[in-house]
A and B are shown apart, each in its own frame.
Chain A
Amino acid sequence: MKVSNRFIILLLLPASALYLTFFLVPTIQALVYSLYDWSGFGEAPRFIGMRNFQELMSDRLFWTSMGNTIAILIIGGIVIFGIAFVMTMMLSSGIRGKKFFRGVIFLPNIIAVIALTTLWGYMYTPRTGLFAAVFDALGLTELARFPWMGPDTIAAAMMIAIIWIEVGFYVVLLLAGVDKIPPDFYESAKLDGATDFQQFRHITVPLLSDVIAIGMVLWSIHAVKIFEFPFAFTGLEPNPNSYTVAVYLYILGFGQRQPIYRLGYATAVGVMLLLVVILIVLVLRRVTRREVYQY
């Protein structure tokens, strides 16, 4: 449609100005700051080139946090989409109480994450926690004393909780996609004698491909910035074994009880996170660049 240039500018201006000033400019600044040694707001940054990135390469905590973030992104993503798919299949198979199940499965999404960390932290407590009480009742005393939040399993323990929280969102998303598939597709497939699984494999999945793609993009973006859960999951301070990149960046930039203020270094961590996102986008574009089914 043809409209006047003045009108175009007028309508674009507020969003563009905000986006530019408080999003794009800071992003570019971040790229610049990551090349500086900067020990506090109000202090003068000192240019050090790639030194921050060199230091990152041998920074164990950074790699732990990156490992956790990637694990959440990939392993968590596969499990979440797997479960969400199964649930979607089940929910769309004509069972009763579909809306009820969907609502309950989605519920954790709207609850403040801090509240959920409290709940999960309590459930995982050895001896006195909720899981321990269940195992004790079943006579499994060994499991009742299992240190779920010990160094080897804390990341997995966190992942389970995150999966429980997130699955509902993708169920809702996929289910909406399924609901939009014209029912006669299935009718005619049934007439041809297709099994439920065949219908799912040859009708549902291909027709959902764009929804799946959107879901994967949303998940990736969300997963790389997960912060609240590891931040509030453990004791007095976030536990380094369950750091995500976002938490480590915050700790480096601001600190907990003691200010740290390695602003340049923390920003370099952020730049690494951006690189991860770019990588994901490239991969996802390759994976999802398939013919789009029109219906």
Chain B
Amino acid sequence: MAERSLKLEQAAAQSKERRKSRLQLKHVPSYLFLGAWSLFTILALSWVVLASLKTNREVFREPFSFPADPQFVNYERVWLNSQVGQSFLNSLVIVGLSVIVIIAVSAPASYILSRARFKGRGLLTMVFIAGIGIPYPLLFIPLFALLAGIKLINTIPGLILVYVSLSVPFTVYILTGFFSSLPSELEDAAVIDGATDFQVFRKVMLPLASPGLLTASIFNFIGLWNEFQLALIFIQDPGLRPLSLSLYTLKNSMTYSGDWAGLFAGVVIVVVPTIILFVILSERMISGMTLGSVK
């Protein structure tokens, strides 16, 4: 018995090995291409980190050397002289609240659009989804005039309002897809048990749709975290700037004073938290992202 299983194991191992070696030869171009691409990305980003620790003269004169004497003072200077910290908080507040509100308004609407039967449902769904195709730049000026009228220019609630409204179509698109793919048995059972409309939605369907809600949240979070053009138009006060806008200011300010090392330090400060978040969440993010769009 033992002998046999040993033999089997050996056979399995052998065939595995054979398969692997064959596979690896075939895979050489793949490794080369993907490896080169990844290497470029990694080197480029590491170069930024390296540059952030150099003196300004070193950045340009010895682009490939390691910093002779790491200039952590670059980080100190950027942190003290810019509002990166404040912007980080602003971004958290703006993006966090926006995502919550986006989901809070889009989920019920998507539920109704995909599960309730009423006249004009198809048309209404189309009207919602059509919004995806409207390019934001078209709205810059009318939205500015509108927000100016209700005194919400240059305010965080104003920007959140814009973010939420403009994100509704895409979120509805993802979520209707989700809700309509849910089985109706549980819903029917709940109705038979005497649940009210709201209970069916809140207690049965919403939990079932939670992977979809997560997907939609992740999509919106990534999109809004780096959003720049709307923030540029609707926020003027530096104290209210989200991170992307703050980084732009930093870029301008550092290039005007020729402080390239400082600029790269600023880039690192802004980008690293995002990358760490990505490394921790990437599996979830990527699988979540594709849940919705690939059904």
Give the docked Cα–Cα distance between A105 and B286 (Å).
12
Give the docked Cα–Cα distance between A94 and B139 (Å).
46
- Smallest CB–CB gap between A217 and chain B, Å? 8
Give the docked Cα–Cα distance between A274 and B139 (Å).
11
Please tell me the size bucket of the interface on A.
Answer: 35 or more
Cβ contact within 8 Å between A112 and B226 = yes
Give the docked Cα–Cα distance between A281 and B132 (Å).
11
Please tell me the size bucket of the interface on B.
Answer: 35 or more
Known: A1-B117, A103-B282, A118-B251. A91 touches B34 (CB 8 A): yes
Of A100, A176, A249, which is within 8 A of B140 by CB?
A249
For A32, the closest partner residue in chain B by CB is B142
Known: A26-B139, A41-B145, A107-B278. A90 touches B164 (CB 8 A): no
Of A26, A117, A180, A246, which is within 8 A of B229 by CB?
A246
Cβ contact within 8 Å between B229 and A232 = no
Chain B contact surface mostly: helix
- Smallest CB–CB gap between A291 and chain B, Å? 17
For A245, the closest partner residue in chain B by CB is B137
Residues of B within 8 Å of A281, CB to CB, are 133
Residues of A within 8 Å of B164, CB to CB, are 18
Which of A5, A24, A278 has the most chain B CB within a 10 Å cutoff?
Answer: A24
Of B42, B105, B161, B228, which is within 8 A of A227 by CB?
B228
Cβ contact within 8 Å between A253 and B140 = yes
Which of A52-60, A138-146, A148-156, A264-272 lies at the interface? A264-272
Give the docked Cα–Cα distance between A41 and B113 (Å).
38
Cβ contact within 8 Å between A112 and B131 = no
Chain A contact surface mostly: helix
Q: What are 18 A-B interface contacts by the 8 Å CB criterion? A: A1-B115, A1-B117, A1-B187, A10-B108, A11-B112, A23-B165, A25-B142, A29-B146, A90-B29, A90-B30, A91-B30, A103-B279, A110-B222, A119-B48, A119-B267, A172-B286, A173-B289, A176-B286
> Residues of B at under 8 Å CB distance from A?
23, 26-27, 29-31, 33-35, 37-38, 40-42, 44-45, 47-48, 60, 63-64, 104-106, 108-109, 111-113, 115-118, 124, 127-128, 131-146, 148, 161-162, 164-166, 168-169, 172, 184, 187, 191, 197-198, 201, 222, 225-226, 228-229, 232-233, 243-244, 247-248, 251, 260, 263-264, 267, 270-271, 274-275, 278-279, 282-283, 286-287, 289-290, 293-294
> Residues of A at under 8 Å CB distance from B?
1-5, 7-8, 10-12, 14-16, 18-19, 21-27, 29-30, 33, 41, 86-87, 90-91, 93-95, 99-115, 117-119, 122-123, 128-130, 133, 164, 172-173, 175-177, 180, 211, 214, 217-218, 221, 224-225, 227-228, 231-232, 245-246, 249-250, 253-254, 263, 266-267, 269-271, 273-274, 277-278, 281
